[in-house]
């Protein structure tokens, strides 16, 4: 069954209200995107815990999906009237043909080479190198598929630095990818913590799919007592600032810490905080993101 798509460009003052009006008038879904994406005027908006909501872009593109029997032009006129707009915004209405969306989505995710011996492989692909360390992982509800620079930076650190036999804490585990990889690279045990119960469930499922043992995943209140040889956290800068005492306390003396989810320009600030406990290494950067590491004194 085909659908109809409506695309409307509008300013920040009307974007959210127009989105809500279209939903009330029968839109099946509405997306709000930066109309300047991919141009020099693209506006980066980063939201972090503890900060006010970042709002919308200066120029917004509202995209709405409707059943193919709806009079989308009339719906847009009604939405514009409800907002008091004198003119109907510039828009485009197109037919979206039905497809095998599962197959099309899967086609977007290929195996990801992290290093010559480490790959992230979706379940619908056959590993290209059966002798490599292949992490079986599908895109899902939790962050961490190996496609984002912050995850790749942490995975490469593990590949380059693990000696085998370590105890690992992954705070903000998402999909569980870092804990699972650490175990497949020889760590003795790994604990993952996440504030999202769906992430905890996804991590447990992914650990089972990769047949790793000694992997445990919890919500923060259930974090086991004890210290670890390696503490990792790939989240965002503000939480890393707030969690610094907790993460430092979780690392044993002589143990290591790895931090990511940090923008290039935030790296020195985060390092200055963690230098209270750790001798910090030179940061590693990729595509505007930083990975920090250090050893506890």
Q: Is the pLDDT of residue 105 over 60?
A: no
* Rounded Cα gap, residues 180 and 261, in angstroms: 19
If DSSP states are collapsed to H, E and C, what string results for 215-282? Answer: EEEECHHHCCCCCEEEEEEECCHHHHHHCHHHHHHHEEEEEEEEEEEEEHHHHHHHHHHHCCCEEECC
Q: Is the pLDDT of residue 169 over 80?
A: yes
Average pLDDT, stretch 254-282? Answer: 97
Share of the chain above pLDDT 70, in %: 90
Same domain for 218 and 250, yes or no, is yes
Give the pair of three-digit tokens for residue 51: 């900060």
Is residue 103 a part of any domain in this protein? no
How distant is the alpha carbon of residue 20 from its chain centre?
26
Q: Is the pLDDT of residue 137 over 70?
A: yes
Mean pLDDT of the chain: 89
Is residue 70 a part of any domain in this protein? yes
Residue 243 contacts by C-beta under 8 Å, 6 or more apart in sequence?
171, 233
Write the burial class of residue 226 (CB in 10 Å: 0-12 exposed, 13-18 middle, 19+ buried). Answer: exposed
Is residue 124 a part of any domain in this protein? yes
Q: What is the pLDDT, as a whole number, of residue 12?
A: 87
Is residue 277 a part of any domain in this protein? yes
Give the pair of three-digit tokens for residue 244: 């610094």
Same domain for 79 and 162, yes or no, is no
Q: What is the pLDDT, as a whole number, of residue 160?
A: 97
Same domain for 9 and 65, yes or no, is yes
């Amino acid at each position: 069954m085909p659908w109809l798509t409506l695309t409307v460009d509008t300013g920040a003052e009307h974007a959210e209200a127009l989105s809500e009006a279209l939903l009330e008038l029968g839109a099946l879904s509405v997306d709000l995107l930066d109309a300047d994406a991919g141009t020099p005027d693209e506006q980066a908006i980063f939201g972090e815990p503890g900060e006010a909501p970042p709002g919308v872009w200066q120029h917004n593109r509202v995209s709405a999906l409707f059943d193919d029997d709806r009079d989308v032009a009339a719906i847009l006129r009604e939405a514009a009237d409800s907002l008091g707009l004198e003119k109907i915004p510039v828009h485009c209405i197109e037919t979206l043909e039905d497809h095998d969306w599962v197959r099309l989505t899967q086609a977007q995710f290929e195996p990801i080479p992290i290093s010559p011996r480490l790959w992230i492989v979706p379940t619908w692909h056959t590993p290209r190198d059966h002798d490599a360390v292949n992490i079986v992982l599908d895109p899902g509800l939790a962050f961490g598929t190996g496609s984002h620079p912050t995850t790749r930076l942490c995975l490469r650190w593990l590949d380059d630095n693990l000696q085998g036999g370590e105890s690992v804490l992954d705070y903000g585990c998402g999909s569980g990818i870092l804990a699972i990889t650490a175990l497949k690279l020889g760590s003795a045990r790994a604990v993952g913590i996440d504030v999202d119960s769906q992430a905890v469930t996804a991590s447990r499922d992914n650990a089972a799919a990769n047949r790793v043992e000694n992997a445990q995943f919890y919500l923060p209140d259930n974090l086991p007592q004890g210290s670890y040889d390696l503490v990792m956290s790939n989240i965002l800068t503000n939480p890393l600032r707030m969690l610094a005492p907790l993460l430092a306390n979780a690392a044993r003396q002589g143990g290591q810490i790895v931090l990511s989810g940090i923008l290039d320009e935030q790296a020195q600030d985060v390092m200055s905080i963690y230098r209270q406990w750790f001798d910090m290494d030179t940061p590693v950067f990729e595509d505007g993101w930083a990975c920090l590491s250090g050893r506890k004194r």
